[in-house]
């Protein structure tokens, strides 16, 4: 019997080729999309899980605040903590908490010039790290001893990629590299490349003892911020009990720590990528809301594909009523008929699953490129294959259950006498399913319009500074360049295409420090704060076209500007109690050993992406040794020629340093890379959702048209026009789409309003975004249905009325 079921099922599929293709295509595309989204979500949830001790690894979050005199601060909110903290917390943590097994600290990434023979490259992702690093994290050392690799003074551990860059295939262990033309390091280890699903990534570790040799004083400063602290606990440790003692820890270890200016808490490694709300992260972070959105899209797509599958299955089932009547007359049991229809449905579903896997393997490279993630490659597809087959089985059984149970229950006498007709409940079910799938499709189209508008808003908003035609030369703070920085700027500025040049430690969109800064508040008291810090030269403000809100910019005409003045932005003025920026001019300040008065307030400009509000910023006239970049403002025109000539000038003034440049608008735009990736993937899946919905609508329109062939012929004989008949056939489906619009628009408006709340600078929801989605859905549905309707209306009445 089983063989017979398969034979009959196969014949049925071949006999109805159009519906078979529609069913397989729709379900296969739906399963493929769901599979790819599953791989994406799986990748997002896998960050840092490869570490052997991942469940027992935590990191320290720290908060630095400024209480009023005599006041005691409450515990900070989650968003007030930051991952970037101070050095003394590491040793103090190990001493105060006996349950802590290992503690390690990293510095923020450094830019260094590494040199071996004729191989010389500027590396931007080198950090100093403690010797306990390999006791906590499961990075495999390919060369060297993990217990000793980061203990040695001037020792460096390279990733495999960086080792090959300098040493090729020869062993790197024990080899020497020169750093910044200043000192040498010895390779004490070569480790595997840090996996892509890590919340931070470095190309090399230099032993922390090396850093301690250069700057020993900062390892005792509780207010100096430049370290990330991680620790490992035994399996039975209770992190909640440790967190309950953090206030006592601060009171015992931090100077004046009992007033709450310093606070800390602990965050599991598993929360670092997707769940952390802390600021100043050491690397990329994911978006939990995006994960939820993609999961919803996957459910929507699969639901729409299943609806198509069930709709066509139930619609076509009525044609088999006579077959059921005959088979029941000759003795077929209801049970065997149920098995027959379920077998057909499951076979169709399994064929769709096979096609879906093939499509996923073909589409995987494109999705990986768009998402900038590996997604596990073909091996990951193979890993989730059992789930695909399970889903196909469930879909096949559910889709086949309705026709199997309904048809198997027909009375043979009624069917064979021609007294049987399709039930009203079946028609209502199909209409309801069409409404559901088009409601989801319209919601996704509206969501795509909102997402695109928000991305365009962030990328096109006025940032408060000039970013176009700004060439940024990164020389890594080279000491020789800094010694003659003004001469180099003059040499570059003499080029006819150069309008202006300035030097700074950071440029918008790049890494910057914070600085403990005291400013005289309106009450006349010195109020402490920790604004972001830009160290700049005299030409920075005019070169970047930053406008003044009050006071003046730095000027060479004022000798005191070099050591006794400071600029703030409007947000910083408000931080210190001045709603009117002009009121802070002339107020005293103290910052990093420098004292003087505030001489100007710049208008707030977006030195970070629009994902964050403009935060308080101090702009300090930098000593030359603190500078890292030269920004050259150039005229439009032949960029390649201008850059080549500037490179030639650079080789004459700084031959020891490679000419590394970026355009500011491009580098600043990299902050929106994840948004662009999200938008692209979301748009593609939304488009595929519409495709699947239209495929199902086309199938139902085809079926409905075939059922009314004789009616169409009679109407044409009586004088009906092609347009009139096409309108009649299309109207029923278009009414369903209109109902879908009424359901989808308010639901998507609410959902996208919630999504936009995560952005501090967001686009306003406009009616046209939802109207556009509704109109597009209506047009697509009209074209889909009308195509079949017009073809049916153009058939000669002779053909449609001929009796078989």
pLDDT band at 130 (very low <50, low <70, confident <90, very high): very high
Which residues touch 37 (CB under 8 Å, ≥6 apart)? 294, 295, 297, 298, 301, 685
Phi/psi-derived region of residue 622, left when phi > 0, alpha when psi is between -120 and 50, beta in every other case: beta
Q: Calculate mean pLDDT across residues 163-183.
A: 93
Q: Residue 228, SS3? A: strand
Contact 481, 468 (CB under 8 A): no
Report the b/e string of 8-39 with b at 16+ CB within 10 A. ebeebbeeeeebbebbbbbbbbbbbbbbbbbb
* DSSP 8-state class, residue 69: T
Contact 330, 412 (CB under 8 A): no
Higher per-residue pLDDT: 64 or 337: 64
Which residues touch 710 (CB under 8 Å, ≥6 apart)? 800, 801
Residue 565, judged by CB atoms within 10 A of its CB (0-12, 13-18, 19+), counts as buried
pLDDT in tens, 187-222: 999 999 999 999 999 999 999 999 999 999 999 999
529: nearest Cα among 521, 539, 541: 521
Q: What is the pLDDT of residue 554?
A: 97
Q: Calculate mean pLDDT across residues 357-376.
A: 88
Which residues touch 42 (CB under 8 Å, ≥6 apart)? 375, 376, 380, 384
Give the distance from CA 425 to its chain's centroid: 45
Higher per-residue pLDDT: 292 or 624: 292
Q: Which residues pair with 61 in a beta bridge?
A: 265
The tokens 């999504």 sit on which residue?
755
- Tell whether the model's pLDDT for residue 364 goes beyond 60: yes
Cα Dmax for the chain: 109
- Tell whether the model's pLDDT for residue 553 goes beyond 90: yes
pLDDT band at 641 (very low <50, low <70, confident <90, very high): very high
- Tell whether the model's pLDDT for residue 158 goes beyond 90: yes
pLDDT band at 464 (very low <50, low <70, confident <90, very high): very high
- Tell whether the model's pLDDT for residue 179 goes beyond 60: yes
Higher per-residue pLDDT: 391 or 617: 617
Q: Calculate mean pLDDT across residues 8-18.
A: 67
297: nearest Cα among 748, 685, 736: 685
Q: What is the pLDDT of residue 502?
A: 97
Least confidently predicted of 141-145, 480-484, 737-741: 737-741
Instruction: Please report which helix (H) or strand (E) contains residue 218, including its range.
Output: none
Task: Please give the Cα distance from 547 to 542 (Å, whole number).
Answer: 8
Q: Calculate mean pLDDT across residues 540-552.
A: 97
pLDDT in tens, 83-93: 999 999 999 99
Contact 174, 186 (CB under 8 A): yes
Q: Residue 122, SS3? A: strand
DSSP labels, 595-615: EEEEEEEEPP--SS-TTSPPP
At 668, list the tokens: 């600043």
Is the sign of the CA dihedral 586, 592, 594, 595 positive or negative? positive
User: Average per-residue pLDDT in the chain?
Assistant: 87
Count other Cβ atoms within 10 Å, centred on residue 753. Answer: 12
Distances (CA, A) of 418 to 167, 253, 411, 503, 803: 85, 91, 11, 90, 16
Q: Percentage of the chain with pLDDT > 90?
A: 53
397: nearest Cα among 433, 354, 353, 346: 346
Task: Please give the Cα distance from 201 to 332 (Å, whole number).
Answer: 67
Distances (CA, A) of 395 to 10, 27, 302, 688: 18, 9, 10, 19
* DSSP 8-state class, residue 760: S
Q: Calculate mean pLDDT across residues 581-607.
A: 96
pLDDT band at 417 (very low <50, low <70, confident <90, very high): low
Which pTM does this prediction carry?
0.84
pLDDT in tens, 689-733: 888 888 777 777 766 676 666 777 777 777 777 777 777 767 777
User: Could you tell me whether strands 532-536 and 617-621 are parallel, antiparallel, or unpaired per DSSP bridges?
Assistant: parallel
Distances (CA, A) of 318 to 119, 312, 332, 408, 423: 76, 11, 18, 11, 9
Task: Please give the Cα distance from 477 to 629 (Å, whole number).
Answer: 7
Q: What is the pLDDT of residue 223?
A: 82
Q: What is the pLDDT of residue 412?
A: 59
pLDDT in tens, 220-255: 999 888 999 999 999 888 999 999 999 999 999 998
Task: Please give the Cα distance from 660 to 232 (Å, whole number).
Answer: 39
Q: Calculate mean pLDDT across residues 130-141.
A: 95
Distances (CA, A) of 648 to 282, 363, 645: 36, 45, 5
- Tell whether the model's pLDDT for residue 804 goes beyond 50: no
Which residues touch 11 (CB under 8 Å, ≥6 apart)? none
* DSSP 8-state class, residue 754: H
Q: Calculate mean pLDDT across residues 332-338.
A: 67
162: nearest Cα among 143, 181, 180: 143
């Amino acid at each position: 019997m089983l063989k017979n079921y398969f034979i009959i099922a196969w014949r049925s599929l071949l006999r109805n080729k159009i519906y078979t293709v529609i069913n397989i295509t729709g379900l296969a595309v739906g399963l493929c999309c769901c599979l790819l989204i599953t791989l994406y979500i799986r990748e997002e949830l896998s960050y840092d899980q490869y570490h052997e001790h991942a469940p027992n690894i935590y990191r320290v979050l720290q908060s630095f605040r400024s209480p009023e005199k005599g006041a005691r601060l409450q515990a900070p909110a989650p968003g007030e903590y930051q991952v970037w903290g101070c050095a003394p917390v590491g040793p103090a943590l190990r001493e105060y908490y006996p349950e802590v097994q290992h503690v390690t600290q990293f510095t923020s990434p450094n830019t260094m010039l590494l040199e071996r023979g004729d191989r010389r490259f500027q590396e931007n992702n080198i950090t100093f790290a403690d010797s306990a690093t390999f006791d906590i994290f499961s990075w495999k050392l390919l060369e060297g001893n993990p217990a000793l690799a980061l203990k040695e003074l001037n020792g460096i551990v390279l990733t495999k990629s960086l080792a090959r860059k300098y040493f090729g295939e020869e062993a790197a262990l024990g080899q020497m590299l020169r750093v910044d033309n200043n000192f040498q390091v010895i390779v004490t280890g070569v480790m595997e490349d840090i996996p892509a699903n890590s919340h931070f990534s470095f190309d090399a570790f230099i032993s922390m003892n090396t850093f301690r040799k250069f700057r020993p004083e900062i390892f005792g400063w509780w207010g100096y911020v430049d370290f990330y602290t991680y620790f490992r606990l035994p399996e039975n440790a209770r992190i909640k009990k440790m967190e309950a003692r953090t206030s006592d820890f601060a009171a015992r270890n931090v100077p004046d720590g009992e007033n709450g200016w310093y606070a800390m808490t602990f965050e599991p490694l598993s929360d670092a990528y997707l769940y952390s709300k802390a600021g100043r992260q050491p690397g990329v972070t994911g978006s939990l809301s995006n994960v939820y959105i993609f999961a919803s899209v996957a459910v929507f797509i699969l639901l729409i594909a299943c609806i198509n599958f069930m709709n066509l299955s139930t619609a076509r089932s009525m044609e088999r009523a006579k077959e059921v009547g005959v088979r029941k007359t000759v003795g077929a049991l209801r049970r065997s008929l149920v098995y027959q229809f379920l077998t057909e449905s499951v076979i169709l579903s399994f064929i769709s699953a096979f096609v879906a896997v093939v499509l996923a393997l073909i589409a995987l490279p494109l999705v990986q490129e768009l998402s900038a993630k590996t997604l596990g490659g073909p091996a990951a597809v193979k890993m989730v294959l059992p789930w695909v087959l399970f889903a196909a089985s469930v879909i096949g059984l559910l889709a086949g259950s309705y026709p199997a149970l309904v048809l198997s229950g027909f009375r043979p006498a009624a069917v064979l006498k021609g007294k049987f007709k399709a039930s009203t409940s079946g028609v209502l079910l199909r209409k309801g399913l069409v409404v559901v799938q088009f409601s989801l499709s319209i919601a996704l189209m509206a969501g795509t319009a909102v997402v695109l508008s928000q991305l365009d808003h962030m990328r096109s908003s006025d940032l408060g500074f000039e970013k176009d035609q700004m060439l940024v030369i990164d020389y890594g703070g080279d000491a020789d360049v800094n010694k003659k920085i003004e001469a180099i700027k003059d040499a570059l500025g003499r080029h006819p295409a150069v309008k202006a040049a300035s030097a700074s430690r950071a440029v918008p969109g790049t890494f910057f420090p914070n600085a403990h800064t005291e400013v005289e508040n309106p009450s006349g008291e010195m109020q402490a704060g920790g604004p972001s810090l830009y160290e700049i030269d005299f030409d920075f403000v005019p070169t970047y076209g930053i406008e003044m809100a009050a006071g003046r910019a730095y000027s060479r005409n004022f000798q005191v500007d070099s050591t006794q003045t400071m600029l703030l932005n409007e947000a910083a003025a408000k931080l210190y109690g001045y709603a009117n920026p002009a009121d802070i001019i002339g107020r005293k300040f103290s910052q990093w050993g420098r004292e003087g008065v505030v001489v100007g307030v710049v208008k707030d400009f977006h030195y970070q992406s629009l994902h964050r509000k403009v935060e308080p910023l101090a702009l300090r006239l930098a000593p030359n040794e603190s500078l890292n970049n030269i920004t050259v403002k150039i005229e439009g025109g032949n960029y390649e020629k201008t850059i080549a000539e500037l490179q030639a000038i650079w080789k004459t003034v700084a031959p020891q340093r490679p000419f590394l440049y970026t355009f500011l608008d491009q580098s600043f735009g990299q902050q929106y890379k994840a948004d662009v990736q999200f938008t692209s993937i979301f748009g593609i899946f939304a488009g595929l959702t519409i495709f699947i919905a239209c495929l199902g609508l086309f199938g139902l329109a085809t079926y409905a048209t075939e059922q009314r062939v004789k009616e169409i012929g009679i109407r044409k004989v009586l004088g009906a026009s092609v347009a009139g008949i096409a309108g009649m056939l299309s109207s029923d489906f278009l009414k369903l789409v209109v109902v879908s619009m009424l359901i989808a628009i308010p639901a998507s408006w609410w959902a996208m309003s919630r999504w936009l709340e995560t952005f501090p600078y967001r686009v306003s929801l406009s009616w046209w975004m939802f109207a556009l989605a509704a109109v597009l859905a209506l047009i697509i549905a009209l074209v889909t249905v009308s195509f079949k309707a017009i073809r049916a209306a153009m058939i000669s009445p002779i053909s449609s009325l001929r009796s078989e």
